[in-house]
Amino acid sequence: MNLNFIKETNNFKKKINFSFLFVIVCFTSCSNNDKNSHKKMIDILSQKEVDIDPETNFYANKQRLSWLQKEDNYKNISQKFQHQAIIANEMLNAGFTKQAAELFNELLFQIDSLKIFPPKDFIIGIKDMLAITYLRMGEETNCIDGNNSESCIIPLRNNGIHRNKFGAQNAIKIYKKLLTEDPSDYVYRWLLNIAYMAKGEYPGKVPNKWLISQLIPSDTIQFPEFKEIASKLNIDQIGLAGGSILEDFDNDHDLDLIVSSWGASDQIHYFENIGKGNFQKKTQESNLKGITGGLNMVHADYNNDNYPDIFVLRGGWFGDSGNIPNSLLKNNGDGTFTDVTIIANIFSQYPTQTASWGDYNNDGWIDLFIGNESSNKSMNQSELYHNNGDGTFTEISKNLGLNISGFIKGAVWGDINNDGNLDLYISRLGQINLLFVNEGKEKSWKFKERSANAGVQEPINSFPAWFFDFNNDGWQDIWVSGYDNSSGHVAKDYLGIKHKGESPRLYQNNQDGTFTDVTSLSNLNHPLLSMGSNYGDLNNDGFLDFYVGTGDPDYRSLQPNRMFLNINGEFFQDVTFHGRFGHIQKGHGVSFGDIDEDGDQDIHAVMGGAYQGSIYQNALFNNPGNWDSEWIGVKLKGNTSNKLGIGARISVETTDGQKIYRTISSGGSFGGNPFREFIGLGKNKNVSKIIIEWPSGNTQTESGLSTGKWHIIKEIKN
């Protein structure tokens, strides 16, 4: 149930934001050789935290709570109750769960004792919020405190069952009463089943009329369990929604980890892999102290020095309060990073959470597209920063026809027509999605929007997206999520009941500039409510699988994150419950990579939500291996092309004639895979040859490469 009574309807006078003047003064005083750019960004970020306006920023929950508690100008008892309900809800959002439960209970007591009869929906709304408050209380006392490898992974079992059952028990009582009044509410039904799981009484004690029995893995699918081991590796960083990047930042071959959390004061953290998946936190030593926030991060080697750099994205979802600058973090090659945003001429402050690196003109220098968020008040155009090759950038989106507006949630580069030029796909919330085809050098590097002709405009409400070749035919396909969903849609989907939830779209490339929607044929027509997601090859069979982080800010959105296994490029099999991937905390940044160098890909996921109280530990799902499959690893080093070979196409031919295609990228639009390609080969396969088509236009063939090893391939000019 959507509780409109929780939302304020008053129009507030917008406060003057003095931080803008601060930024302008800073910006104009900074030259290209300003050595203090790092400190200046830290100062700007600190000031932005001070300038948060609780009246307009609905995610600054602690500040909003303080502001709301000062407001007491209600005219009657009804307004008082409504205001108290709003305060209680803000307590929950701010993480003061016990106090929220006490206030919701007090409201119900007062209404009953005073014999006041507010609207029925108001009473139901209070009970609804009290129930989820109890359920969240159970998560805090059992899953956050005392977190273990099975916490919050459904179906809950063993150590995942709550030790302290107070929260789950009270939630059950309320949901049973609510369902008695409204048996058709599938959100209540879904959460009732989750509460019984938390108590250790699913499915046996769930009333049959409300049971969702499909949350137990079937015996028809054989798939091994992945163990969640983030705490064992000391990378179980607690935080909110944010980005995840697995990459070899120090060039020692081991994959390091960088994570962010979107709170204004939330520190970005760097974990150095010291060998075989053993990590040490090096946040302080890496010079990242004070670099805060970041709903997402994307990485590349922008200056071609062989060390991957990081771009941090801020302000997404904040609307008019989202004028927070992004950050370009230069990798110094000595274990430290420096914020060079200002001196690189890439400083901007629009709300965004998505960007993508790609060399649109194949000049050997990686460029950056930023998809900004617009609102009714502010039409914030997207930006394309052309890499000048000297450490600076020039914004040229208008020149190329990419100065678009919209509530952009995903942006990815790919090559839909195999012409060697990168095209751009844009996912938007509440509008059609866009496909910009690169017309090449002959047209002075212009882009033409062709989403309608290509048939890739849906879903209207979408989030992350990516290009990948799911069927290994040598042509890149498109996956884009659906975001118009709820826990009720998920419940109906598991029960096989028709629902109005939005499914993602899998668009198969027809090799003629058009695509065919194969979502249903591929068994992907399910409501996923995707936030973060990415892809990799779990079983080394050569076909790309993917993991979807689910949920929205609402605490009631306790949906399992989903794993889909690619079956020979023909369809996808849901192995969420079989592989123990069904984490019900909010999933955001997702990264695939072999962190322990054992010949299979593991999965890292940021699990926090949007509200300040919606914190949770990040997760690492360890691949159990034993796939009886071969693999080969390829790391490219560009010469004429950009150093990481981003955008290069790889064709691997096995000795039995099978071909496997990959494109060098970081994966999806939320989360960063390493820019080295882990390629599964299937059973009993050896490599005949590898063909690399470089972004520069060079093509080279490599043979005699052994499997089960990583190979560095340097670009050779034709």
Among 46-60, 71-85, 691-705, the range with the most confident prediction by mean pLDDT is: 691-705
Q: Is residue 27 within 8 Å of 328, Cβ to Cβ?
A: no
pLDDT in tens, 423-454: 999 999 999 999 999 999 988 999 999 999 99
pLDDT in tens, 173-216: 999 999 999 999 999 999 999 999 999 999 999 999 999 999 99
| Rounded Cα distance, 542 and 684, in Å | 12
Residue with more model confidence, 117 or 589:
589
pLDDT band at 718 (very low <50, low <70, confident <90, very high): confident
- pLDDT given at position 246: 98
pTM score of the predicted model: 0.93
Q: How many CB atoms are closer than 10 A to CB 697?
A: 11
Residue with more model confidence, 479 or 263:
479
pLDDT score of 21 more than 60: no
Q: Is residue 455 within 8 Å of 515, Cβ to Cβ?
A: yes
- pLDDT given at position 35: 61
- pLDDT given at position 49: 77
Q: Which one-letter amino acid corresponds to residue 9?
A: T
pLDDT band at 115 (very low <50, low <70, confident <90, very high): confident
pLDDT score of 243 more than 60: yes
User: Quick one: what percent of the chain has pLDDT higher than 90?
Assistant: 83
pLDDT band at 717 (very low <50, low <70, confident <90, very high): confident
Residue with more model confidence, 485 or 338:
338
- pLDDT given at position 496: 95
- pLDDT given at position 79: 87
- pLDDT given at position 554: 94
Helix (H) or strand (E) segment spanning residue 603: strand 602-605
Q: How many CB atoms are closer than 10 A to CB 710?
A: 15
pLDDT score of 31 more than 60: no
pLDDT score of 692 more than 90: yes
CB-based contacts of 290, cutoff 8 Å, min separation 6: 42, 45, 46, 267
| Rounded Cα distance, 685 and 708, in Å | 11
Burial letters for 357-366: b for 16+ Cβ neighbours within 10 Å, e otherwise?
A: bbbbbbbbbb
What is the pLDDT averaged over residues 634-662?
Answer: 96
12's tokens: 């507030």
User: Looking at the DSSP assignment, which residues form a beta bridge with residue 313?
Assistant: 296
Mean pLDDT of the chain: 92
- pLDDT given at position 242: 96
What is the DSSP annotation of 115-166? Answer: T----HHHHHHHHHHHHHHHHHHHHIIIIITT--TTTTBSSP-GGGS-SS-H
pLDDT in tens, 283-338: 999 999 999 999 999 999 999 999 999 999 999 888 777 889 999 999 999 999 99
What is the pLDDT averaged over residues 337-344?
Answer: 96
pLDDT score of 36 more than 80: yes
- Matching residue, tokens 């609102």: 375
pLDDT band at 113 (very low <50, low <70, confident <90, very high): confident
pLDDT band at 57 (very low <50, low <70, confident <90, very high): confident
User: Looking at the DSSP assignment, which residues form a beta bridge with residue 269?
Assistant: 259
Helix (H) or strand (E) segment spanning residue 167: helix 166-181
pLDDT score of 680 more than 50: yes
Helices 120-139, 186-199: crossing angle, 10 deg rounding: 30
pLDDT score of 89 more than 60: yes
- pLDDT given at position 440: 94
| Rounded Cα distance, 482 and 462, in Å | 5
Q: Which long-range contacts (CB under 8 A, 24 or more apart) does 33-37 make?
A: 33/343, 34/342, 34/343, 37/338, 37/339, 37/340, 37/341, 37/342, 37/343
pLDDT band at 357 (very low <50, low <70, confident <90, very high): very high
What is the pLDDT averaged over residues 124-148?
Answer: 96
- pLDDT given at position 17: 39
- Whether omega for the bond prior to residue 119 falls within 30 degrees of 0, making it cis, is no
- DSSP classification of residue 705: P
